[in-house]
Amino acid sequence: MSPHLPSAAAAELPERVLRFVRETVIPYEKDPRNHGHGPSEDLVHELRSHAREAGLMAPQLPAEFGGHGLTHLQTAAVFRAAGYSPLGPVALNIMAPDEGNMHLLERVATAAQKQRFLRPLASGDMRSAFLMTEPDDGAGSDPSMLRTEAVRDGSDWLISGRKWLITGAVGAGFGIVMARTEERATMFLVDMDSPGITIERILDTIDNSMPGGHAVIALDRVRVPADQILGEEGRGFDYAQVRLAPARLTHCMRWWGTARRAHDIATDYACRRQAFGKPLIDHEGVGFMLADNEIELKQAELMIDWCAAVLDTGAKGTHESSMAKVAVSEALYRIVDRCVQVLGGLGVTRDTVVEQAFREIRAFRIYDGPSEVHRWSLAKSIKRRMKEHRAS
């Protein structure tokens, strides 16, 4: 039997998700628990109980983990709908870093690891973190600068180092920790309550949609048994690649929905609000911005779907997802920036969700690699292909 939804049901999912977000999730945006470094655990719990009831939890996952086994292309439409509220992905349990972690575990983890780590993650009962980036001139956009180290101690490993900007770490049940080992780098599944793990602080950041915020974490000889290595020793960078391309793209999907929402709010406002004798939208200065938004939303959607279709062929999609990440993040940012501008004074207040959308998508231009790093890597691959072309 096909692991995928019958296409009619898959075709309905985006519409169902959009209705759920509009009717059930958006009212929570003004909830006082949706504040500070991200929605509170309590709010996350409440949102998920609604999504569970609606049969919409993590719909991209295989049936054995409660989902519908969506293709990347089907996922795209569903995640765009979910992103119509910044709380939508939280409710559906498809936000970063959990969604990317599920994807990685499903592909690389052992059966026992899946049982222990993936199952509670998939059901939305546990959250997780991905401990890659580091302070103090450690790993950032250049992962080769990794400083956190894991050394053998009998059949166990002891991990020491510091990690920085670790999303969702506070409140997470476990984390995937990238550490330098004898051979290159290795990923470990680490319980967040292990002795030796200290949350130094939660960073104040420009964005605040992620439960648990972004933290600085110290690891001091954290003991991890050998069966908590994820996949094979020394293949950490390979797995990072497995996770990376799809994770970048799901970011694009989710934030697309939020930008669409901002555009709808701005359009509605521009059609109602008068200035200098006519509705704002009749001022070309405003109408042109909304026209550009429509164009760029469509382009971003097409780019996402194109890249999703590439991933659906089984290709790694590193080059394509870099293209999509730059194009989509920069376009969505221009869109929400225009929405703020259309709203004028209202746009800089939290009275609409546009202000948050603007801050979140500003951060998105940096998360998962700043646009500059992707352009750098695209240039490298352009050069490589030119060489191959000449050699042929």
Which residues 247-306 are close enough to bind a second copy by CB under 8 A?
Answer: 267-268, 271, 273-276, 279, 281-288, 290-292, 294-295, 298-299, 302-303, 306
Q: Does 11 bind a second copy (CB under 8 A)?
A: no
Interaction of residue 63 with a second copy, rule CB under 8 A? no
Of the pair 33, 375, the CB lying nearest a second copy is at 375
Q: Is 62 in the site for a second copy (CB under 8 A)?
A: no
> Rounded distance, CA 225 to CA 158, Å?
9
199-238 binders of a second copy (CB under 8 A): 203-207, 214
| CA–CA gap between residue 104 and residue 80 (Å, rounded) | 21
Of 333, 334, 354, 358, the C-alpha closest to 343 is: 354
Residue 136 makes contact with a second copy by CB under 8 A: no
User: Ramachandran region of residue 254, left (φ > 0), alpha (ψ -120 to 50) or beta?
Assistant: alpha
Say if residues 103 and 79 touch (Cβ distance below 8 Å). Answer: no
User: Residue 178 is inside which H or E element, if any?
Assistant: strand 174-180
What are φ and ψ of residue 221, in 5° steps? 50, 55
* Closest to a second copy by CB, 51 or 328: 328
Residue number with CB closer to a second copy (230 or 303): 303
**Complex with a second copy: residue 187 or 328, whichever CB lies closer:** 328
- Taking the C-alpha atoms of residue 209 and residue 95, their distance in angstroms, rounded to an integer, is 10
- Stretch touching a second copy by CB under 8 A, among 5-13, 41-49, 91-99, 352-360: 352-360
The distance of closest approach from Cβ of residue 37 to a second copy in the complex, given in angstroms and rounded to an integer, is 11
> How many chain residues interact with a second copy (CB under 8 A)?
73
Q: Binding segment for a second copy among 2-10, 217-225, 226-234, 378-386 (CB under 8 A)? A: 378-386
Strand partners, 103: none
Based on the shown chain and the rule CB under 8 A, indicate whether residue 36 belongs to the binding site for a second copy. no
The answer to whether residues 301 and 80 touch, using CB atoms and an 8 Å cutoff, is yes
Q: Give the closest residue to 368 by CA, choosing from 321, 319, 314.
A: 321
What does the per-residue mask of binding to a second copy show for 308-347, with x meaning CB under 8 A?
---------------x--xx------------xx--xx-x
Find all residues with CB under 8 Å of 150, minimum gap 6, and list them: 157, 158, 159, 179, 180, 181, 186, 188, 224
Q: Which of residues 89-118 bind a second copy (CB under 8 A)?
A: none
Asked if 13 is part of the footprint of a second copy (rule: CB under 8 A), the reply reads no
Nearer to a second copy, 140 or 196 (CB): 140
- Residue window 143-182: x/- pattern of binding to a second copy, with contact defined by CB under 8 A: --x------------------xx-----------------
Q: Please give the structure tokens belonging to residue 170.
A: 């506070």
